[in-house]
Structure 1
Amino acid sequence: MRLSGQVCAGRGLASQHLATAPQELEHWLGAPPVAGTLNLVTNRPYRLNTKTAKVFDEDHKMVWPARAGDSPVLVYRWPGCPLHVFELISPVRLRDALGLADGDRLQVHLPAGHLARVSASAWVVWALLWGLRTGRYYRSLGSYPALAEGLGLRLGASQ
């Protein structure tokens, strides 16, 4: 399965979140990951299958093996992650390796079993919370992303 997302600048939090499992991430990637992640937002929701996830940090964080270009990556999500947000962990700095800048599109190749169905009700909730604001998750300095993430979690429209 291929999904396409837009590259965007992050908030600089991934390095802290991922510091709890450097050996596991290296084992799953086949090489040490670079600091930080590449952030992608899609224009529609995608739920990843928790049954195929690699879990760490006492089951609070999840990754799924995938590919971006020729690079192996781990798609990183956490409980409450909006369904259009993808953070890619890689052994190379993907922006440099693939010549990416904010606003560029990138295709990620996920095995079909890594995707799960997004229910009709989750689509509706996602559309109300994020439909016209997909890029706002990383750009907003206000409280909207945290509020929408919490509502999405409670209403079944988040990872």
Structure 2
Amino acid sequence: MSEIIYTGSIVQGRGIGKSVIEKYQSRFEKEGLEFYPGTLNIILKHPVYLDLKQADFSFDDTWYLFQAKVNNYPCYLLRFPKCPDHILEVVADTRLKSRIEFENEHGVKVDISGNYFLKATLKPNIFWRLFWWKRESWFYKGNRYQFLVGKLLDFNKKVKNLLMNKS
């Protein structure tokens, strides 16, 4: 399947990606992966639903890596629990901000293989619009909003599990 190209904006991160890279560095190396200890954080104006079962690598069934390109430079997208679907954490073998030429921080091009995508259904799209639309950067502005959305996601998951166990 062909690649899908997204354009997003770079935003300063909160250190989550860096801590993941440091924690799993030896496991990455066993897989032949070597990453710069940090991520490039890109915010999109809409969600991207990646199928975790299609990830190129997964660690502890929590951290998932998908091959991609940022401004044509090969890298991986890092997905983790409670990461909003419009946020892309990008890992590479180098510090991307100093390696890649960016015309501006609002026109970053991300190429992702179409094989990685889930079909977007109505429920996640409604959820995303309710909690993130026009508030895309709030994930990086503080912990309160992320905490609230995280609690709602946890509650939604618990309700789903209860309903599935009753049938």
Shared fold (TM-score, shorter chain, > 0.5): yes
Instruction: Give, as a single letter, the amino acid of the residue that structure 2 aligns with 1:151.
Output: L
Structure 2 CA distance, aligned partners of 1:90 and 1:3?
18
The normalised TM-score by structure 2 is 0.81
Q: Which runs of 5+ in 1 are unaligned?
A: none
Which residue number in structure 2 is paired with residue 70 of structure 1?
Answer: 72
Select the residue among 111, 114, 135 that pairs with 1:112: 114
1:116 is paired with a residue of what secondary structure? coil
Which residue number in structure 2 is paired with residue 150 of structure 1?
Answer: 151
Which residue number in structure 2 is paired with residue 129 of structure 1?
Answer: 131
Structure 2 CA distance, aligned partners of 1:6 and 1:149?
23
Q: CA deviation at 1:31?
A: 5.3
Give aligned-pair identity as a percent: 23
1:6 aligns to 2:9 (yes or no): yes
Instruction: Give, as a single letter, the amino acid of the residue that structure 2 aligns with 1:94.
Output: L
Q: Could you list the per-position Cα deviations for residues 32-71 of structure 1 after superposition, in whole angstroms to 9, with x for gaps in the alignment?
A: 2111100011111111011111201x11111111111232
Moved more, 16-25 or 34-43: 16-25
Q: CA deviation at 1:15?
A: 1.6
**Equivalences, count:** 153
The normalised TM-score by structure 1 is 0.85
Larger helix proportion, structure 1 or 2? 2
RMSD after superposition: 2.2
**Structure 1 pair 153/83, CA: closer, same or farther in 2 (3 Å)?**
farther
**8 Å Cα contact 1:125/1:155 also seen in 2:** no
Q: Which runs of 5+ in 2 are unaligned?
A: 158-167
Q: CA deviation at 1:102?
A: 7.9
